[in-house]
Structure 1
Amino acid sequence: MRYEILGETLPVVICYLESGEKMVTEGGGMSWMSPNMKMETTSNGGIGKIFGRAFSGEKMFQNVYTAQGGEGMIAFASCFPGSIKAFEIAPGQEMILQKSAYLAGENGVELSAFFNKKIGAGLFGGEGFIMQKASGHGIMFAEFDGHVVEYELEAGEQIVVDTGHLAAMTASCTMEIKSVPGVKNMLFGGEGVFNTILTGPGKVWLQTMPISNVAGVLSPYFPSSSK
């Protein structure tokens, strides 16, 4: 499979498949394709995987697109101004992603819900409570909000992140939610009550414009319903 990612603010990934190669996406993920691409809707696993995808923010069923009779082409566009990143998934190279980040992937990539093992992260992590885990093998494409900044953390090295800015991390990293120190900081700091502590070794990808922040900025300009 060959691919190219085009566009900056509103990107799209265009995949070129050899005959018989497959791409998997959730319903509504396909933007355009060549006429020799065959679509099949599948649960892609048992009832556990179906509900696991639902918990992680994805739809219960997925669409599998197969190139038939020669090279095929299929495109997947981002649904929000931001970035599309390609990741090579393999045993020992699993990825943890924010909810709904998965855009499309080769047939060997498996998607499941990832629950943070630390109780604090589960109770107070917001977007970090339930995330997506990509495992298996193959290329996967993820969409993130705004520009993406990548950091590589050494063993024990940490970075403090507002939870909404965490886009992805390698599964070798750990994540913990901690409260902001000081009552005055909590009440008047404007940065929220909790922060996410990411610890290496591994890579983390941080997004500059979480969609939740955008919604908060725009909400005062939306007309409220009159009673």
Structure 2
Amino acid sequence: MKYRIIGDTMPAVEVMFDVPGECMYTQSGGMAWMSDGIEMATNTRGGFMKGLGRMFAGESLFMATYRAQRPGATIAFASTVAGRILPLDVTATGGMICQKGAFLCAEDGVQLKIALSKKFSSGLFGGEGFILQDISGKGMVFLEIDGDMVDRYLEPGEVLKVDTGNVVAFDRSVRYEIETVKGLGNIFFGGEGLFLTKLTGPGRVVLQTQNIAEFAGRIAQFIPTSGN
């Protein structure tokens, strides 16, 4: 297959299949447009329990698979918020651990499953959920970035502290923990929440400049309620 990224503000990835039988899958409702010559099938992809695990990781219970019936058929998957789309060759990189909601679409050989953080407190208090996404297998996967992307490589022992909602993905070699913000004044008046994500190298870390949950919360403040 071939692909191209279309657009800057609200990008989409458009895939062109080379041969019949090639396919892409995405969460339910993730397809933006497609040509003739593509067959769609919807299922839990791996069984009900795997589908349930994806729900906890921020994706849908059902996955839609789009299979080419003829060469040259095209299909596109669009981002849900303003930002970027990150192509990741899982065959070459070995995959990554991602935060919930980062997955956009992937080739059929890519495996998407849940990954529990090593420390229970990391997920219980981290703000983005105890369950992460483990991407492995072979093929291309496309991740959704909210806002702009920041790509960092941490040296062995190097520490990066990040607001949890700004973490997109990281190598399996990176240690992931949650650290409590120190000082009562910082906790109540600092505006950064009670916890930060602590990432320790070595390995690649992908960050995003927008925290969509925080952004949505700010917009919600301006939405009139029935009592107003």
TM-score, normalised via structure 2 length: 0.94
Aligned positions, number: 227
What is the alpha-carbon distance in structure 1 between the residues aligned to residue 128 and residue 25 of structure 2? 24
Q: Which residue does 1:7 correspond to in 2?
A: 7
Q: Which residue does 1:153 correspond to in 2?
A: 154
SS in 2 for 1:216: helix
1:31-70 equivalences in 2 (<5 Å): 31-70=32-71
- Whether the 8 Å contact between 1:91 and 1:136 is mirrored in structure 2 is no
Give the residue type in structure 1 aligned to 2:131.
I
What is the alpha-carbon distance in structure 2 between the residues aligned to residue 225 and residue 130 of structure 1? 35
- Whether the 8 Å contact between 1:102 and 1:142 is mirrored in structure 2 is yes
Q: Which residue does 1:214 correspond to in 2?
A: 215
- Whether the 8 Å contact between 2:120 and 2:130 is mirrored in structure 1 is no
Cα deviations across residues 66-106 of structure 1 (Å, max 9, x unaligned)?
11122210000111111111111138722111212111100
In the TM superposition, residue 132 of structure 1 has moved relative to its aligned partner by 1.2
In the TM superposition, residue 122 of structure 1 has moved relative to its aligned partner by 2.1
In the TM superposition, residue 119 of structure 1 has moved relative to its aligned partner by 2.3
Q: Which residue does 1:125 correspond to in 2?
A: 126
In the TM superposition, residue 214 of structure 1 has moved relative to its aligned partner by 1.0
What is the alpha-carbon distance in structure 2 between the residues aligned to residue 170 and residue 225 of structure 1? 46
In the TM superposition, residue 26 of structure 1 has moved relative to its aligned partner by 1.3
Gaps of 5+ in 1: none
In the TM superposition, residue 158 of structure 1 has moved relative to its aligned partner by 1.1
Q: Which residue does 2:200 correspond to in 1?
A: 199
Give the residue type in structure 2 aligned to 1:6.
I
SS in 2 for 1:80: coil
In the TM superposition, residue 225 of structure 1 has moved relative to its aligned partner by 2.0
Cα deviations across residues 119-168 of structure 1 (Å, max 9, x unaligned)?
22022111052221111111001112111100011111110101111111
1:223 partnered with 2:228: no
In the TM superposition, residue 174 of structure 1 has moved relative to its aligned partner by 1.3
SS in 2 for 1:221: coil
In the TM superposition, residue 110 of structure 1 has moved relative to its aligned partner by 0.9
Moved more, 5-14 or 37-46: 37-46
Give the residue type in structure 1 aligned to 2:12.
V
What is the alpha-carbon distance in structure 2 between the residues aligned to residue 190 and residue 26 of structure 1? 33
Relative distance call for 1:43 and 1:220 in structure 2 (3 A) is: closer
- Whether the 8 Å contact between 1:91 and 1:135 is mirrored in structure 2 is no
Give the residue type in structure 2 aligned to 1:224.
T
- Whether the 8 Å contact between 1:162 and 1:196 is mirrored in structure 2 is yes
Hey, which bits of structure 1, 4+ residues long, moved more than 2 A?
A: none
1:171 partnered with 2:175: no
Gaps of 5+ in 2: none
Moved more, 77-86 or 116-125: 116-125
Cα deviations across residues 169-218 of structure 1 (Å, max 9, x unaligned)?
12221111011122222222222111110011111111111111211221
What is the alpha-carbon distance in structure 2 between the residues aligned to residue 123 and residue 10 of structure 1? 32
Moved more, 85-94 or 2-11: 85-94
TM-score, normalised via structure 1 length: 0.95
Moved more, 127-136 or 29-38: 127-136
SS in 1 for 2:192: coil
